[in-house]
Amino acid sequence: MNDRNPQFRTDVELEPAIGLLELCSVARGVETADAILWTANIELLFAEPVQPGKFVMLFTGGVQDLEAALARGAEAAGCDLVDRLLIQQIHEQVPAILQREGKVNGTLDALGIVETTTVASSILSADAALKRSTVDLIELRIANGLGGKSFFTLTGEVSDVRSAVAAGAELAGERGLLVRDVVIARPHADLVRHL
């Protein structure tokens, strides 16, 4: 477990579907988390404050339960809702990387980075990128220590990284939540040591 992402529950078996609600109020976030738990048969993976004073809850369950929880959560959050997501078949690397700190050893053929303004947009973009090309997720950082922004890094062959980054950036861009996307072919070894 790392200290750069929220503390995820590891005792819950993750369903292939996940939902997420991101609010700009901690108090309303706690109230919304309670409302969705009473509404649907879901398991919270985390529900806690993140910077800068937002509240994020990630949960898993069956698709119908997630849809019901998201609808109730959006209603309870009202104007405090910042973003949300529902992914019915999440790529296996996304939840795995959220539970550990990414570290790279050796050299990389290419490095891709997609930076977004919300937690939900970063997770959605990472999932889209991984489903587009054969790449490996290095890290997915959400909110804390980033002023509420999020980003992910991935690696693979240059053409695959370009394709994956394009998919992730396109999705975030369509939602108006893309900050920047970058692909670095053959990153310097000294840079790789710090990833």
Q: What is the DSSP string of 57-118?
A: EEEEE-HHHHHHHHHHHHHHHGGGEEEEEEESS--THHHHHHTS-----S--SEEEEEEESS
Distance CA(7)–CA(168), nearest Å, equals 25
* Phi-psi sector, 81: left (phi>0), alpha (psi -120 to 50), beta: beta
Among 128, 106, 123, CA closest to 195: 106
Q: Which amino acid is at 52?
A: P
pLDDT of 6 reads: 56
**Which tokens belong to 132?**
């587009």
Dump pLDDT digits (tens) for 144-195: 777 888 999 999 999 999 999 999 999 999 999 999 999 999 998 888 877 7
Q: Considering only 4-18, 60-74, 91-105, which range has the smallest mean pLDDT? A: 4-18
CATH architecture, domain defined by 18-87? 2-Layer Sandwich (3.30)
Residue range 26-55, pLDDT digits in tens = 999 999 999 999 999 998 888 889 888 899
What tokens were used for 53?
């004073």
Q: What band does 10 get if pLDDT is binned at 50, 70 and 90?
A: low
Most confident of 11-15, 80-84, 136-140: 80-84
Query: pTM here?
Result: 0.84
Task: Beginning with the edge strand found earlier in the chain, give each strand of the sheet holding 178-185 in spatial order.
Answer: 136-142, 150-156, 110-116, 178-185
Q: Where are the domains of the chain?
A: 18-87, 93-192
pLDDT higher at 4 or 140: 140
Looking at CATH, the fold of the domain delimited by 93-192 is given as Alpha-Beta Plaits (3.30.70)
In this chain, the answer to whether the domains covering 18-87 and 93-192 adopt an identical fold is yes
Of residues 78, 55, 89, the one with CA closest to residue 44: 55
